[in-house]
Structure 1
Amino acid sequence: MSDSKYADTASLNPKTTSYEFFGPLGAFSITIGVPILTYILYFTCNNDTSGGCPPPIQTLYPSLLQALADPAFWWKLWDPEAFALYYSWYTFCLLAWAVLPGDWVRGTQLRNGKYQQYKINAFSTCLLALGLSTGYILRFGVESFTFFYDHWVGFVSAALSMSLFQGILWRKLLALGGNSGNLIYDFYIGRELNPTVGFLDIKSFNELRPGMILWLLIDISMACTQATRLSGQITDSMVLVLFFQGLYILDALYNEPAVLTTMDIISDGFGFMLAVGDLLWARYLVFRPKVLGYAWSAAILAVNFLGYYIFRTSNNEKNEFRNGRNPKNLTYITTEQGSKLLTSGWWAVSRHPNYFGDLLMALAWSLPTGFDTPITYFYVVYFAVLLIHRQRRDDENCEKKYVECHSVSPTNILINALPYRYGKDWHRYQRLVPYRIIPYIY
């Protein structure tokens, strides 16, 4: 490689100089801890759990030791049928992406001056999957679609194996945060910004298709399992969870182009952090069915729809504004760079009102399980920590964007040397919109 090419590569992929998630130790802990916690949630709260969910530690600890010593326990983690179906599902998503029609949308400009192209057909892929699943259930009955519940832990292992596999593949245009040189940290945070195979952008594909659509199919499978156990009936709590999460998933898939302006796509590398996830609520309601009644159901519906309204309208305001439209005549400030920051509408309430809506919906998804166990509220706590961390990362990126010197040339050396000018735009915006996520609280 010539010196000039080496210099270009080095400038495009600068060395990561600061860590997130407490550095390599934190990244390693999360990489190991997420799978372990997922399995613990399954084995401490299931149909066979006695004495509560989770059971008392004096009961739980001996049973876990006994399970770990049993070879059948380990074989159950690597269920060949679950692996075959999961990887067949992933193949189906790839084929649907390739075969189904869809518009090609250009993303934001990359650091190398190029633009990534994205095929938009996640919603039609979901409709195809739902049509095939509905036909299968009508033909063979609800009891035929309980596979996800019966082989749940095997699906968890299959999904984790895919996450681990994809986290090590990509090495081209690197994410700014994923080039530290530490293998553990870079594997977790994500090295390549836009891993691509042919015309397929792997990161955006994984963001919506295999996980999000399968999430909906899993919920349907859990409802079928409950109906099989309850002589063809499902509880109002199961209906609420299926409706809430189905609405959220279909909304995300229908608004697929909106994901192209998120932090995940624009700045995060594709690694284990973006490849892994877990689900819980609908499975719990299979073996702990809850009947809520009209009043409690109405209250939970109100919480969810309030969250959805905030989430969708705030995101619509942001996406329309970023695409050069401003139908609500929202006010904004213009930075010295020419960037615009919204200061009215939902974006005057907090700097991340969509996160506030997301948290309200997460709470509504857990409320149908009642208050018999804290385990089903794990997601709310986990999601709150995740969103607060994302908000702080976003604030830090904005701090760098609007505070640090953007370039050094003879015409701006003097300006960049004046400390009082640093952060003028960003700090002014923070004064106008002081709350980060939840108004008057955080």
Structure 2
Amino acid sequence: MAKTEKDAIAKGGSALNPRTTSYEFLGPPGAFLISVGVPIMTFALYYGCSEETGGCPPTLDLTTISERVQDAVKNPEWWVSLWDKEAATMYAAWYAFCVVAWAILPGDWIEGVQMRTGGRKQYKINAFSTFLLAMGIASGFILRNGPEAFTFIYDKWVGFLTAALAMSVFQALYVYAMSFRSGALLALGGNSGNPIYDWYIGRELNPSVGSLDIKSFNELRPGLILWVLIDLSMVCTQAARRGGWAEVTASMWLVLAFQTWYVADALYNEPAIFTTMDITTDGFGFMLAVGDLVWVPFVYSLQARYLVFEQVELGPYATAGIVAVNLLGYYIFRAANGEKNDFRNGKNPKNLEFFVTKSGSKLLTSGWWGRSRHPNYLGDLVMAFAWSLPTGFNTPITYFYVMYFAVLLIHRQRRDDEACEKKYGEDWEVYKKKVSSRIVPYIY
């Protein structure tokens, strides 16, 4: 942040950083429960669906599972086993690689949206280059040493998960402490004065180290790219076990292809992230830190990890059908986002209809954005379903991502609608009559 903007914040005082008067996530109790519950759920998804514990879910009755959980948490050795020094070192090296790549790889600098100070933050665009470099190094390593050399992520899963969680907690504590320095621009929703809530939701809007914006960096680089590397490690583990690349199942290749394409697309379209709620509105705290660094790579890759020890064989028709579902979701997602981005940049190549509010803002009312208020979420959900289909229907656990994602997107949609209602007032009610569906046309 420029010195003039820091001075503006210091002079503006409480006017620029007003006290937060309403809570989300049920306030401090909810923030505390989620802060504890998300790590527990992430570990539970491993221990409840893994080769180590006997399957997905383990072939034990609920009483036996409860007894095993109680025995584990009471055993100091189990807690010690969660930490793997070698995995922690590799994770730290991975995070450092992402920082160095951000610093040395070429990339354009673009401006974000206008902030309350009147200024605009500068962001360096090279996430896709970082992704290509990481994939190139990993691919070269695998081709040189064989798939057996890249199974270590699967073998040291818990250690990597613990290391990522430790990084999330550290970053959340760091940015919370730094948010009290003079000249910090706070998030409107993260200045409640309650330390538990503000630490969780994010007190500062754009915490930075020099010109490195911590929030957008974490959103696109360490966790998102690691997600693909994890999937790649799962492919290598299956190849090593089955006797080579030719023996890898079509189901595993589909999961790798779908999720790699999704990540590559997000990174290639990096500038689009700077108009999202995460960047423009939310502060950076434990919620985003644990979401970006832990939840995304270690939960979203559940299907690939499952297919290592439960190898599903797909026929040509099932494979074609699953590909068609994913392509449909991607088409909806990309077409909807393309319409929105064009319109925000003053373009309207499809001559889409729009509604002009009293404030002068324009809201699309035709095309994909005339079918629902969040058609891009619909595309996301269809793709999420396609990513789970290769695992078959032997367990609902591999469909956890779809169910969670639906809840997340509905919550996000409601947050966005509340913000728009405050922003547009009566015009928002008029708009909702024109576009009545929230996500799924004619259903929700």
Q: Distance in 2 between matches of 1:51 and 1:5?
A: 55
For the residue of structure 2 that corresponds to 1:341, the secondary structure is strand
Q: Distance in 1 between matches of 2:55 and 2:153?
A: 25
State whether residues 9 and 185 of structure 2, in contact with CA within 8 Å, keep that contact through their aligned partners in structure 1. Answer: no
Does the alignment pair 1:244 with 2:266? Answer: no
Deviation at 1:188, TM superposition (A): 1.2
State whether residues 54 and 373 of structure 1, in contact with CA within 8 Å, keep that contact through their aligned partners in structure 2. Answer: no
Give the gaps of 5 or more residues in structure 1. Answer: 404-422
Q: Match for 1:175: what amino acid?
A: A
Q: Distance in 2 between matches of 1:220 and 1:102?
A: 26
State whether residues 235 and 290 of structure 1, in contact with CA within 8 Å, keep that contact through their aligned partners in structure 2. Answer: yes
Describe the shift of the 1:431–1:153 C-alpha distance in structure 2 as closer, same or farther (beyond 3 A): same
- Structure 2 counterpart of 1:417: none
State whether residues 195 and 203 of structure 1, in contact with CA within 8 Å, keep that contact through their aligned partners in structure 2. Answer: yes
Please list the CA deviations of residues 354-373 of structure 1 after superposition, one character each: whole Å capped at 9, or x if unmatched. 00010111111111111111
Describe the shift of the 1:51–1:58 C-alpha distance in structure 2 as closer, same or farther (beyond 3 A): farther
Q: Match for 1:428: what amino acid?
A: V
Describe the shift of the 1:176–1:141 C-alpha distance in structure 2 as closer, same or farther (beyond 3 A): same
State whether residues 9 and 117 of structure 2, in contact with CA within 8 Å, keep that contact through their aligned partners in structure 1. Answer: no
For the residue of structure 1 that corresponds to 2:121, the secondary structure is strand
Deviation at 1:187, TM superposition (A): 1.1
For the residue of structure 1 that corresponds to 2:377, the secondary structure is helix
For the residue of structure 2 that corresponds to 1:94, the secondary structure is helix
- Structure 2 counterpart of 1:428: 430
For the residue of structure 1 that corresponds to 2:359, the secondary structure is coil
- Structure 2 counterpart of 1:216: 228
The within-5 A match list for 1:143-292 is 143-170=148-175, 171=179, 172-232=184-244, 233-276=247-290, 277=295, 278-279=298-299, 280-292=302-314
Match of 1:362 among 381, 384, 397: 384
Count how many residue pairs are aligned between Structure 1 and Structure 2: 419
Describe the shift of the 1:51–1:62 C-alpha distance in structure 2 as closer, same or farther (beyond 3 A): farther
- Structure 2 counterpart of 1:74: 79
Deviation at 1:296, TM superposition (A): 1.4
Q: Distance in 2 between matches of 1:102 and 1:191?
A: 29
Match of 1:306 among 283, 303, 328: 328
Deviation at 1:343, TM superposition (A): 0.7
Q: Distance in 1 between matches of 2:173 and 2:17?
A: 17
> Could you tell which deviates more after superposition, 293-302 or 203-212?
293-302
Match of 1:117 among 122, 146, 162: 122
For the residue of structure 2 that corresponds to 1:174, the secondary structure is coil
Report % sequence identity.
64
Q: Distance in 2 between matches of 1:138 and 1:52?
A: 31
State whether residues 125 and 271 of structure 2, in contact with CA within 8 Å, keep that contact through their aligned partners in structure 1. Answer: yes
> Could you tell which deviates more after superposition, 198-207 or 64-73?
64-73
Describe the shift of the 1:111–1:235 C-alpha distance in structure 2 as closer, same or farther (beyond 3 A): same
Q: Match for 2:257: what amino acid?
A: F
Deviation at 1:51, TM superposition (A): 7.0
Q: Match for 2:116: what amino acid?
A: R
Q: Distance in 1 between matches of 2:218 and 2:146?
A: 30
Deviation at 1:376, TM superposition (A): 1.0
- The alignment yields a C-alpha RMSD, in angstroms, of 1.4
Q: Distance in 1 between matches of 2:411 and 2:170?
A: 25
For the residue of structure 2 that corresponds to 1:438, the secondary structure is coil
State whether residues 54 and 375 of structure 1, in contact with CA within 8 Å, keep that contact through their aligned partners in structure 2. Answer: no
State whether residues 9 and 16 of structure 2, in contact with CA within 8 Å, keep that contact through their aligned partners in structure 1. Answer: no
Please list the CA deviations of residues 127-162 of structure 1 after superposition, one character each: whole Å capped at 9, or x if unmatched. 000110011011111000011101111111111111
